[in-house]
Amino acid sequence: MQIRHILLYGIIGISFLLLFVGWWYRSQPDVEIGRRLVVNSCGVCHDLTAAQNHERGPYLWGVYNRHAGSSGFNHSEAFLNKISGSDFIWDDKNLNAFISNPSKFIPRTEMGKHDSKHPTAFSGIESASNREDVIAFLKTLR
């Protein structure tokens, strides 16, 4: 093999490696983006600190892998019906489905409800990669 072939294949090999590393890096959830999203979109209704206060919704400290409804918060009937009878844990799959569209996952949940007492409601996070970022940050709340 000639030296210029070795160089050529070397350059092609390194280029693929860099492309792969770039792709892998961008496909990882970003905890810092998640933190900003959670502070801005969830913090209006949820306490995110170790103080574990109930606000409009239950506190989110330690929510990852927590049993749904186990915080002592006064949940809606819709929510309690959804989680009853099964071992309902806030794992990646359930968190992803809930924050994607709360009212679709749990019809009539308080989290997605507008009413006279609570004019704001949470309709969900459309972007799948932003939901991954949010869940990555929720995991750090412990």
Residues that bind ligand HEC (CB under 6 A): 38, 41-42, 44-46, 56-58, 60, 63, 68-69, 71, 75-76, 78-79, 90, 99, 109-111, 120-122, 125, 134
> What six digits make up the tokens of 100?
């994607």
Rounded to a whole number of angstroms, the minimum distance from the CB of residue 128 to ligand HEC is: 13
Q: Which is nearer to ligand HEC, 2 or 120 (CB)?
A: 120
Rounded to a whole number of angstroms, the minimum distance from the CB of residue 122 to ligand HEC is: 4
Q: Which is nearer to ligand HEC, 18 or 80 (CB)?
A: 80
**How far is the C-alpha of 18 from the C-alpha of 131, rounded, in Å?**
27
Rounded to a whole number of angstroms, the minimum distance from the CB of residue 49 to ligand HEC is: 15
